[in-house]
Amino acid sequence: MNFIRNTFAIIVGLSIVACTITFGIRMVPEWRVYDGYTPFEHWNKFLASMKGNSKFFGFLLFISGLGTTIAGVATAIIVKYAKVAYAILIGFIMLFVAMIDIVVFPHHPTFYKISIFLIYFPFAWLGGKIVEVIYNKIQRKSKTKNAS
């Protein structure tokens, strides 16, 4: 049963990151250079049109970090054990996807290629750590109530 629960948590976390990045890109009207709803349908054309736009790639790093943190929180809430480890797994999967993106589509600036290593793991860890700290505080409060 834990396997299904953990798999569901990973799928939920990855969906949260994908939705956060998609909605983040859709927020800025100047970046809507494609007809589809999601930018991933025409990602190569989209990245080529953003070449040289460091504001876009900076925002993409920010929104990826935010999405990874939220996904880490959601994943850590759903899993029963090893909350931080599963949150970091979200960061690892997103780093793997970002690396494939960089290899397949050559339109990314150098600062983005370097910064993704500094974004996904720490922010995913932060999301898992937030939940772990909250759960530990709740456990301590319940133990002190039971001891009284």
- DSSP character for 36? S
11-64 pLDDT, tens digit each? 999 999 999 988 888 887 777 666 665 556 677 777 777 777 788 889 989 999
- C-alpha 125/C-alpha 111 separation (Å) is 22
Domain limits, the chain? 2-147
- C-alpha 44/C-alpha 33 separation (Å) is 12
Radius of gyration of the chain (CA): 18
55-96 pLDDT, tens digit each? 888 998 999 999 999 999 999 999 999 999 999 999 999 999
Predicted TM-score of the model (pTM) = 0.86
